[in-house]
Structure 1
Amino acid sequence: MKLNLKNPLVFFDLETTGTNINTDRIVEICYLKIYPNGNEESKTMRINPEMHIPETSTAIHGIHDEDVADCPTFKQIAKELAKSIEGADIAGFNSNRFDVPVLVEEFLRAGIDIDLSKRKFIDVQVIYHKLEQRTLSAAYKFYCGKNLEDAHTAEADTRATYEVLKAQLDRYPDTLQNDVAFLSEYSTYSKNVDFAGRIVYDDNGVEVFNFGKYKGMPVAEVLKRDQGYFGWIMNGDFTLNTKNVLTKIRLRESGLVK
């Protein structure tokens, strides 16, 4: 089924040094940009993470330190990449929980505060888990009838994710709508304020903490009640994006910005 798009839709996948959103780095990225007219544009880049790639990660994606030693750093390709995804909606497999937060962190470290607030995000894994409960390789076999060759390479995983989404639309016409806004809403478990999901919107659209002793409490209320909590988060092991979001809420509540 051809996707019904109003904006370009960028499928992407990352291979990284590990699974810590705060500290790990990208070693490979592939994106597949689908235009409303059906045209495709794809690119795969290996990136020097400027840190050692642990052997446990190499065992998954097969990328060693020497493979990326002469590759550009993320900071060197950040502007080009940001321009490539400008104005596009975003899709991936487990992307809402991992790939998008990691990508945003890399942009922030590179000094680019990319605005994704108006984008739609489709997480094909969430759709799959809600309907079938499997992995990408199993999803590819189930929906597309093919084995996923070269699994855990960014390019293979990116294209497989695109094919799985189209097959999901064909298989569940009574459940899924061929509409990016619907798919974005359907593939989201919670309405995140920050990409790591530390702060979410409650049913009334109020920003609340989604972790710790203040879980479920409005952020604005907590900042007034416990002024040290802001400093604890700012000095803690939280993503740059989470800290930026919290700072904006604090400034807004103080009346310094609207």
Structure 2
Amino acid sequence: MSDWHLRPMAAFDLETTGTDVETDRVVTAAVIRIDPSTGGKQVRSWLADPGVEIPVEASDIHGVTTERARAEGRPAAEVLGEIAAELTELTDKEVPLVAFNAAFDLTLLDRELTRHGSPTDFGGRMRVIDPMVLDRQIDRYRKGSRRLVDVCAHYGIRLDPGDAHGCEADALAAARLAWRLGSTRPELAAMDIDDLHQAQRAWRAEQAASLEAYLRRAKDPQAVVERDWPLIPAR
């Protein structure tokens, strides 16, 4: 039995200037190294000056205004370089990365690194655990929101609304979700981490195709839902 959920993992989350992975920027980030066998954790977090205005719609969610980012944040290139180094080290050590809706965070990070002239290749080697993909796979027909805060509530994991959209709280909640899913679903826990990674790639594609079909029937005949995971290739 693999029992990947009982082994060291790292949780990752970003807060950003918006939701467009091609054009929006990193504002805050967190990487939390976790050892489930001991309960120990190490937290690294960053606040960046993204170099652009932070829309009020984004600052209302994560609490970081343009003024605060300029006053307290570090240059984006420095922050991004440190995040990339942290994730590369984890990848080299074969520590899986937990990220809720990983395709968003990893793709936006990839575009930011490319924008600042420091692309990396960790996306191809990294092994990712995405509780959003896992939850949708094992409980396909559950109605209601699949946002992080609502999925946490479903599984009895505390994430106070006031803490949601803080990257440290969200990253830790994602790790707890991964642990809970591994602990309660033996078919997931039994999978080798490489097999689980590849399975999630296929599950994400199936989920996206299903959502796209629904949207085209119900709302938008031209709807397109991205199928690639955990990194959306540059177009």
TM-score range, shorter chain: 0.7 to 0.9
The residue correspondences of 1:147-186 to structure 2 (distance < 5 A) are 147-149=159-161, 150-177=163-190, 179-186=192-199
Unaligned runs of 5+ in 1: 198-238, 244-258
Scaled by the length of structure 1, the TM-score of the pair is 0.66
Residue 102 of structure 1 corresponds to which residue in structure 2? 108
CA RMSD of aligned residues (A): 2.9
After superposing on structure 2, the runs of 4+ consecutive aligned residues of structure 1 that deviate more than 6 Å are none
**Alpha-carbon distance in structure 2 between the residues aligned to 1:57 and 1:190:** 30
Partner SS, residue 47 of structure 1 = strand
Partner SS, residue 69 of structure 1 = helix
Task: Tell me, yes or no, if the aligned pair for 2:107 and 2:232 is still in contact at 8 Å.
Answer: no
The residue correspondences of 1:1-258 to structure 2 (distance < 5 A) are 3-5=5-7, 9-34=9-34, 39-70=40-71, 71-86=73-88, 87=92, 88-96=95-103, 98-116=104-122, 117-132=124-139, 134-149=146-161, 150-177=163-190, 179-189=192-202, 242=234
Query: RCO greater where, 1 or 2, for CA within 8 Å and sep 6 or more?
Result: 2
Deviations 1:116-146 (A, max 9, x none): 2222122111111222352211221222343
Partner SS, residue 19 of structure 1 = coil
Task: Tell me, yes or no, if the aligned pair for 1:148 and 1:160 is still in contact at 8 Å.
Answer: no
**Alpha-carbon distance in structure 1 between the residues aligned to 2:133 and 2:60:** 26
Residue 219 of structure 2 corresponds to which residue in structure 1? none
Question: Match of 1:77, as an amino acid?
Answer: V
How many equivalent pairs are there? 195
**Alpha-carbon distance in structure 2 between the residues aligned to 1:91 and 1:82:** 15
Task: Tell me, yes or no, if the aligned pair for 1:10 and 1:85 is still in contact at 8 Å.
Answer: no
Whichever structure has more helix as a proportion of its residues is: 2
Larger radius of gyration: 1
Q: Once structures 1 and 2 are overlaid, which stretch shifts more, 77-86 or 41-50?
A: 77-86
**Shift, 1:184, TM fit:** 1.6
Partner SS, residue 125 of structure 2 = coil
Question: Match of 2:105, as an amino acid?
Answer: D
**Shift, 1:160, TM fit:** 0.3
Percent identity between the two aligned chains: 25
